[in-house]
Structure 1
Amino acid sequence: MVKTSFGLSALISAAFLYSATAHATGGHPDIIKQVTDRGLKVVSSFKAIDGMTGYVFNSQGSPVTIYVTRDGEHAFVGTLIDKNGTNLSAPKVQELFIDAKNQQAWNRLEDSHWIQDGDPNAETVVYAFVDPNCPYCHRFRMAALPWLNAGKVQIRHILVGVLAHDSVAKASTILGSKNPHGPLIKNFETFRSGGIVPVHDVSERGKAAVEANNRLMSELGISATPGIYYKDGRGYVNMRLGLPPESEFKKIMNP
């Protein structure tokens, strides 16, 4: 769900209560500078109706759309709809902001500290931020077993420590092991009885990797585990937080 605070919209709107000189600055009309000076970053622009130019901005990880009039003298912030109530802004936000952001995230996930689960040759790849103490991560992996066992899906678990006082120690013990896959699976299999017991020396070896994964999770704005990234049938990267419902689960495993 895309959320934009009322305070932000009011602030941006206030910037456009007056006209701005329509000279181009950096390829954009000067009026756009009123927004970038307030900390928003231009992601992309596109042709809109009636000669207007639409802009998608990044506001602390959330998209904001702004439309500039043909003469570049005025602009407004918000959603553009047609006479039937169709949201004309949403497809551009999806294409230029969400899809692009998720693809960039996918590239970073490939370089993160993950543990292979399933056939490494499986065509369907799923990345999941998981905490060793997360019950929904446990349920997610249990539900994925039919696809994993059939060799149709590989899940790349990105171990983080965010939920409990021993989460970092457990995640570090797993990543610090010589064969991380073994303790990862053991933690899943013994989850209901407390999972693995942290081993100090091993944990120290894996701590830096867990801390790097924690930073990545924060930078990508993932606020819950499991944090799941997958590609749909079109090849677009999608992200969802938490345990997916059965209907969405099948889309993840059968793109």
Structure 2
Amino acid sequence: MDKAISGLSAVISAALLFSATAHASGGHPAIIKQVTDRGLKVVSSFKAVGGMTGYVLDSQGSPVTMYVTGDGEHAFVGTLIDKNGTNLSAPRVQKLFTDAKNQQAWGKLENSHWIQDGDPNAETVVYAFVDPNCPYCHRFRTAALPWLKAGKVQIRHIVVGVLASDSVAKASTILGSKKPHGAYIKNFETFRSGGIVPIHHASERGKALVDANNELMSELGVTATPGIYYKDGSGNVRMRLGLPPESELNRIMNP
């Protein structure tokens, strides 16, 4: 069973037993209020099979689907499948929750504290949450170098400090440097020998910027570095946690 769903069993149980035809504010059946009163947020609703109304809910950053019967008397939480075993809930979650969340994230990424890497006029833009001590971040940039050098891609590194005891000091030194890109490259080139050495005055200047990036990373639910955001060939914002395999890297760099 999905962790988000199983973790909600106690929260949802009252709603499943609740019976009412009255409608709460916003046009939702009162049974939905029994759930939202317990901390879940309605993201969107849609017409489902059998006269039911489906709801995509946000549970502390994780999507949950809930289906309410046509009379508003009963509801169930979980995945809806058809007779062939096709998951009917997944496309709704992808479009109404994941895609919408990623699209909103793009604007926040643009306004974060990032370091420009590659041609600033390159059409393909990639954002990446990176930690100075992250070996996979180092490997990601190494793999991306052919596209960066060709001027086809620009990577905007959102430097965070989350992995090691000196990550914040290193990240703050990079963002607080008079030449942040140069400091980032220095950390990249000396990574295998320990990376950049924290400098107190630069670290003091950059600390607030790193704190803001760390907060954004947490807000967006990015749980690993590199945390990569990019747009696919249709312009949809996608998110990838960790080092992508070669096939996926090609899709990211050649949307």
Please tell me the TM-score bracket, short chain as reference.
over 0.9
Shift of 1:9: 3.3
In structure 1, what is the equivalent of residue 54 of structure 2?
54
Moved more, 202-211 or 24-33: 24-33
Shift of 1:12: 1.0
Any residues of structure 2 matched to 1:235-246 within 5 Å, and which?
Answer: 235-246=235-246
Alpha-carbon separation, structure 2, partners of 1:14 and 1:26:
21
Q: State whether structure 2 residue 207 is matched by structure 1 residue 202.
A: no
Any idea what the Cα deviations from partners look like across 1:78-101, whole Å, max 9, x if unmatched? 111110011111111000000011
Alpha-carbon separation, structure 2, partners of 1:223 and 1:86:
29
Alpha-carbon separation, structure 2, partners of 1:57 and 1:40:
6
Alpha-carbon separation, structure 1, partners of 2:189 and 2:7:
47
Alpha-carbon separation, structure 2, partners of 1:14 and 1:90:
25
The normalised TM-score by structure 1 is 0.96
Any residues of structure 2 matched to 1:11-22 within 5 Å, and which?
Answer: 11-22=11-22
In structure 1, what is the equivalent of residue 222 of structure 2?
222
In structure 1, what is the equivalent of residue 109 of structure 2?
109
Any idea what the Cα deviations from partners look like across 1:48-104, whole Å, max 9, x if unmatched? 112211110000000111111111111111111110011111111000000011111
Structure 1 stretches lacking a partner, 5+ long: none
Q: Secondary structure at the match of 1:205?
A: helix
The amino acid of 1:178's aligned partner reads K
Alpha-carbon separation, structure 2, partners of 1:239 and 1:85:
27
Shift of 1:3: 4.3
Alpha-carbon separation, structure 1, partners of 2:214 and 2:193:
25
Any residues of structure 2 matched to 1:186-197 within 5 Å, and which?
Answer: 186-197=186-197
Q: Secondary structure at the match of 2:157?
A: strand
Does structure 2 retain, via aligned residues, the 8 Å contact 1:22–1:71? no
Shift of 1:10: 4.7
Shift of 1:21: 2.6
In structure 1, what is the equivalent of residue 73 of structure 2?
73
The amino acid of 1:81's aligned partner reads I
- RMSD of aligned alpha carbons: 1.3
Alpha-carbon separation, structure 2, partners of 1:112 and 1:17:
45
The amino acid of 2:123's aligned partner reads E
Shift of 1:11: 3.1
Alpha-carbon separation, structure 2, partners of 1:76 and 1:13:
9
The amino acid of 1:143's aligned partner reads A
User: Measured at CA, do residues 50 and 253 of structure 1 come closer, stay the same or move farther in structure 2, by a change above 3 Å?
Assistant: same
Moved more, 12-21 or 161-170: 12-21
Shift of 1:236: 0.8
Shift of 1:198: 1.0
Does structure 2 retain, via aligned residues, the 8 Å contact 1:22–1:73? no
In structure 2, what is the equivalent of residue 181 of structure 1?
181
Any idea what the Cα deviations from partners look like across 1:176-210, whole Å, max 9, x if unmatched? 11111101011101111111111101111111100
The normalised TM-score by structure 2 is 0.96
The amino acid of 1:159's aligned partner reads V
Structure 2 stretches lacking a partner, 5+ long: none
Any residues of structure 2 matched to 1:77-226 within 5 Å, and which?
Answer: 77-226=77-226
The amino acid of 1:84's aligned partner reads N
User: Measured at CA, do residues 3 and 241 of structure 1 come closer, stay the same or move farther in structure 2, by a change above 3 Å?
Assistant: farther
Any residues of structure 2 matched to 1:27-42 within 5 Å, and which?
Answer: 27-42=27-42
Does structure 1 retain, via aligned residues, the 8 Å contact 2:132–2:170? yes
Alpha-carbon separation, structure 2, partners of 1:25 and 1:198:
54
